[in-house]
Chains A and B, each alone.
Chain A
Amino acid sequence: MHNFDFVKPATIADAAKALAGDGAQALSGGQTLIPTMKQRLAAPGVLVSLTGIAEMQGVCMGDGGLHIGAATPHAVVAREAAKHYPALAALAGGIGDPAVRSRGTIGGSIANNDPAACYPSAVLASGATVVTNKRKIAADDYFQGLFTTALEEGEFIIEVVFPIPAKAAYVKFNQPASRFALTGVFVAKFANGVRVGVTGAGNDGVFRWSDAEKALSADFSAGAIAGLKVDPAGMNTDLHGSAAYRANLVKVLTQRAVSAA
């Protein structure tokens, strides 16, 4: 790994200053970035740790729903979101393994936008808002394809705000070697309709399955989508599963999530 200067600001303002500099990159839990740097796929000149900023830590109810600080580790979300948003807490408690959950954070996960990551499906299905040091970004505008987001140079996530659905569930089909999702589906039922977020399957990363949303908004039951088919053309193929296999998983997992919600 190439060497770098390490800084650990205590406030959002100081972090913004540090991240505006040339060659600076944010470090949160490091569970993705450190392995990436070891492979020399990233070589920032300055690494700005966001884990020492109190305002970016923790889970609380507030305006617009459940606020989760971007630097809040998965294990804390699993514990503290449980009474407010159990499906989200369960998702966080199923990421990777306990040591990954001690360090890895929601901000790092959705900034990275790995096509097999769990959180993006929840953020999209909940219609959450991504709050940065510059603006608020709706989930529908935030995710822009594999490892690509609306974040601009020097912009970083402060918190994510989740509206709380009446019913929700996340079902993950584990890829046991990586511990990521081979495919995962997050279903959220709100008063004004149902949203379905799918991760691990699409060629362009996380997406909403709109046909299922329509059917489930009319009738929230596993049977309501029995007649639907997912087109394998938009699905990813790798050695763990073909596009057709993933297309089938999307439907099966959506049905399981509806039943579990």
Chain B
Amino acid sequence: MTKVSMTVNGKSVSGEVEGRTLLSAFLREGLGLTGTHVGCDTSQCGACVVHVDGKPVKSCTVFAADVAGASVKTIEGMANPDGSLGVIQQAFQDHHGLQCGFCTPGMVMSAAALLAENPKPSEHDVRHYLDGNICRCTGYHNIVKAVLAASGQSVPAE
């Protein structure tokens, strides 16, 4: 076991990990941040996406020890400081961008990464960027609407 330290949602954290401890396991089991979901554990579904130094990564496909010292942001870090939903989260609620909610943490984190890179994406840009995030429920239309709405653009009527 070795000790790793990193910043998670603005707070310094540390914990004991094995070489093989995945970032997803460190977040969920080590820190109790169970908002990050593990859907496939095979790098395919994107439910586990978090930001490492501002970039989206699949936390099931990164070793915790390899991102020691990094700044990590998870879905728990997306709410406003007063606890109300952040802009993207609120848009997912307003536009019915989730059903079971399993994919939602990854969707929101990928959407946040997209909007940081490209603040006014087209519908095509949104669909293309969310290529690695799989949703078994919604059929994606409302997710795309939610992301467009979160970017401040008007969305097609229901």
Contact = CB atoms under 8 A, between A and B. Distances in A.
Contacts of A47: 19, 63
A102 B52 contact: yes
B55 interface: yes
B76 interface: no
A99 B110 contact: yes
Nearest to A34: B61
Interface string A100-119: 10110000000000000000
A84 interface: no
B132 A30 contact: no
B136 interface: no
A4 B20 contact: yes
Contacts of A3: 18-20
Contacts of B2: 6
B110 A30 contact: no
Contacts of A193: none
A102 B66 contact: no
B46 A2 contact: no
B43 interface: yes
Given A6-B63, A30-B61, A38-B41, A99 B18 contact: no
Contacts, number: 72
B86 to A, nearest CB: 20
B63 A34 contact: yes
Contacts of A1: 20
B144 interface: no
A42 to B, nearest CB: 12
Interface string B15-30: 0001110100000000
Interface in B3-45: 18-20, 22, 41-43
Interface in A101-152: 102-103
Interface in B117-152: 129, 131-133
Given A3-B19, A6-B19, A102 B42 contact: no
A72 interface: no
A99 B57 contact: yes
A73 B19 CA distance: 22
B20 A30 contact: no
Given A2-B20, A38-B42, A98 B129 contact: yes
B66 A4 contact: no
Contacts of B62: 30, 34, 103
B73 interface: no
B132 A179 contact: yes
Contacts of B133: 97
A113 B4 CA distance: 32
A8 interface: yes
Contacts of B46: 97, 99
Given A3-B18, A98-B110, A100-B132, A75 B55 contact: yes
10 contacts: A3-B18, A6-B19, A35-B42, A35-B43, A49-B63, A97-B131, A97-B133, A98-B110, A98-B114, A99-B57
- Identify the 3 closest CB pairs spanning chains A and B, nearest first: A97-B132, A6-B19, A102-B55
Given A99-B49, A103-B62, 11 more contacts: A3-B20, A5-B19, A34-B63, A35-B42, A38-B42, A47-B19, A47-B63, A98-B56, A100-B132, A103-B57, A179-B131
